[in-house]
Structure formats: structure tokens, C-alpha cells
């Protein structure tokens, strides 16, 4: 492990990747391979399944920033995020607009008040636009973003939000998730994530939104030179219209009145979520 640079070496990464697939279903296990006339090769597992809707969450904001690099002044483990928009027949949808947004290493979203680990001293990021942006998909249906690995905040496992638009109509709202083994490594050993005094309280198996989204919403993460490549194939119905709510989870998957994640049988949940033993 390369503690001096704060960056995991190749042996660390290979060990993590092995751990990610040892205990759960991989996307390859349910993927479909496109036919020869279905367009360019698809990213990741080449899945041609409709991606489920996920809660929009309370932190959506559209600053109308068309940009690939959404980091601004935020530091963290660099990632290249590549999202490929395809229809039910595995045909890439060129020109689709993709919006993404996520929190920084400290668990903060831009342009919102009342955040942070210390509720007695909440942090406001009003007026800031970090870690938000839009891109139009290229001819292969791919929208790319330079960002950082997201942090966590209480009650949620790490994730990246996205919206897909076609002709200005929001056809899908979703969330992308990461393997727990990699998240735990980064949060424990890499600054600035490791400098937080609060402890992560929600793993993938405890997050009702991740459970509802299923394995098709877990990204493929691979090592590149000084960054991770994070990819996901997003299957959409071009005629659909997103019905995701701003804060309520899908019906039947919400937390009980106490606000805690619903109790579930780990033996039943584990096969649904990659990286869970």
C-alpha cells in the first residue's frame, strides 16, 4: 500500500476487486450481449436492461453548467465517470442530456444549507456549484465526467445521482452505487476522506435505495493511471417520463417512521448487492 502518496497501489486495487466479486452477484451474470447491428460495444457488462427509477433526493439543483470537469476546487480520489445511455434494444442514444450531482469527501452537496457531521454547527454551501454538471451523450451514447469519489453522509451509502433527458424531457432519474470494499478502503486510508471524525453508518446492504435499485445500478470500477474509471450502462425507455420524487423512496422500500433503514434478512439481501459477503 502506498501510504506516502495516499493512493492505493496495484496490489491493493486487485485485492479489492477480488473482494468485490467474491460475495455477490456481478453485472455480467445477468447481462445481455448486443447483436452485431446494435451499435458500438457497450461499456461495462453490456447490459440491455431498463435501469430502475431511484429517489431524486433533496439535493437536486440544475446550475445549467455543461462541462466535463465538475470538480472545481474539491479534492479527493479522482474518477472518470462514463455513463452510456441505451434503449431496450441496446442502441446507444446519441445527444441524450445527462445531469449528475453528488457530495464531496466530507458528505456535502453544493448550494444547500444545513449540512455536515456536526448538527450543532451546520455548514451552508449556498451559491456553490461543485460536483454538478451536464453533458450531451456522444455517438456511442456516452456522457463523461471528471470528478472525485463521493463521500458519505448519515443514513446513505455512497452514491452518484443522475438524470437522463431526451428532447428536454426527463426520461429517467437514478442513482449509481459503489462496492463497499473499495469505499471502506478509501474512507479509512485516503485523505481527505480519512480525516473525518464521524463514522460511516450505512453500508450497501442497509441502504433502502440501493436495495431497491438492485445490482444493475452498481458501477463497474477499474484502475487507470492515477484515477478510477467508473462506468455504468443506463437502459432507458425513450418514451418514458421520470416520476421520481424529491425525497420519498419508492413505495414499499421506505424507512420506518423512526427513520432507520428497514430490517431485512441479510441472506436474502446479499445476493442482490455486489460486494456484500
Q: State the DSSP code for 107.
A: S
Provide the pLDDT confidence category of residue 49 given band limits of 50, 70 and 90: confident
Res 47: pLDDT: 53
Res 41: pLDDT: 60
Total domains present in the chain: 1
Q: Determine, yes or no, domain membership for 271.
A: no
Q: Determine, yes or no, domain membership for 268.
A: no
Cβ–Cβ < 8 Å for 173, 56: yes
Q: Determine, yes or no, domain membership for 273.
A: no
Q: For a pLDDT cut of 70, what percent of the chain falls above it?
A: 71
Q: Determine, yes or no, domain membership for 19.
A: yes
What CATH number does the domain containing 88 carry?
2.60.130.10
Res 205: pLDDT: 96
Q: Determine, yes or no, domain membership for 264.
A: no
Cβ–Cβ < 8 Å for 190, 243: no
pLDDT digits (tens, 9 = 90+) for 166-177: 999 999 999 999
Which domain covers residue 157, as residue numbers?
Answer: 10-31+40-238
Cβ–Cβ < 8 Å for 109, 159: no
- Preceding peptide of 192 cis, ω within 30°: yes
Q: Determine, yes or no, domain membership for 265.
A: no
Q: Which residue has the higher pLDDT, 222 or 29?
A: 222
In whole angstroms, give the CA distance from residue 163 to residue 174.
6
Q: Determine, yes or no, domain membership for 138.
A: yes
Q: State the DSSP code for 30.
A: G
Q: Determine, yes or no, domain membership for 259.
A: no
Q: For a pLDDT cut of 90, what percent of the chain falls above it?
A: 63
- Closest-CA residue to 86 (of 172, 169, 160, 27): 172
End-to-end CA, the chain = 23
Q: Which residue has the higher pLDDT, 158 or 20?
A: 158
Res 247: pLDDT: 53
Q: Which residue has the higher pLDDT, 41 or 45?
A: 41
pLDDT digits (tens, 9 = 90+) for 52-107: 999 998 899 888 899 999 999 999 999 999 999 999 888 999 999 999 999 999 99
Amino acid at each position: 500500500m502506498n501510504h506516502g502518496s495516499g493512493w492505493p497501489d496495484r496490489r491493493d486495487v486487485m485485492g479489492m476487486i477480488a473482494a468485490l466479486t467474491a460475495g455477490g452477484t456481478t453485472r455480467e451474470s445477468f447481462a445481455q450481449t448486443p447483436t452485431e447491428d446494435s451499435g458500438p460495444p457497450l461499456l461495462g457488462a453490456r447490459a440491455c436492461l431498463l435501469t430502475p427509477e431511484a429517489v431524486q433526493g433533496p439535493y437536486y439543483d440544475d446550475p445549467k453548467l455543461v462541462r466535463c470537469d465538475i470538480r472545481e476546487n474539491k479534492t479527493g480520489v479522482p474518477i472518470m465517470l462514463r455513463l452510456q445511455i441505451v434503449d431496450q434494444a441496446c442502441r446507444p442514444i446519441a445527444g441524450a442530456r445527462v445531469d449528475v450531482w453528488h457530495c464531496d469527501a466530507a458528505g456535502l452537496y453544493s448550494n444547500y444549507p444545513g449540512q455536515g457531521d456536526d448538527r450543532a454547527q451546520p455548514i451552508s454551501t449556498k451559491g456553490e456549484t461543485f460536483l454538478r454538471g451536464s453533458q450531451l451523450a456522444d455517438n456511442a451514447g456516452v456522457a463523461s465526467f471528471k470528478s472525485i469519489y463521493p463521500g458519505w453522509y448519515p443514513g446513505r451509502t455512497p452514491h452518484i445521482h443522475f438524470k437522463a433527458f431526451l428532447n428536454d424531457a426527463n426520461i429517467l432519474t437514478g442513482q449509481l452505487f459503489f462496492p463497499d470494499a473499495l469505499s471502506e478502503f478509501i474512507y479509512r486510508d485516503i485523505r481527505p476522506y480519512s480525516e473525518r471524525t464521524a463514522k460511516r453508518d450505512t453500508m450497501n446492504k442497509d441502504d433502502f435505495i440501493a436495495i431497491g435499485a438492485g445490482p444493475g445500478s452498481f458501477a463497474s470500477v477499474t484502475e487507470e493511471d492515477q484515477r478510477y474509471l467508473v462506468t455504468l450502462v443506463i437502459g432507458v425507455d425513450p418514451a418514458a417520463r421520470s416520476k421520481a420524487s424529491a425525497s420519498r423512496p419508492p413505495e414499499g422500500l421506505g424507512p420506518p417512521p423512526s427513520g432507520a433503514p428497514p430490517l431485512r434478512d441479510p441472506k436474502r439481501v446479499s445476493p442482490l448487492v455486489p460486494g456484500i459477503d
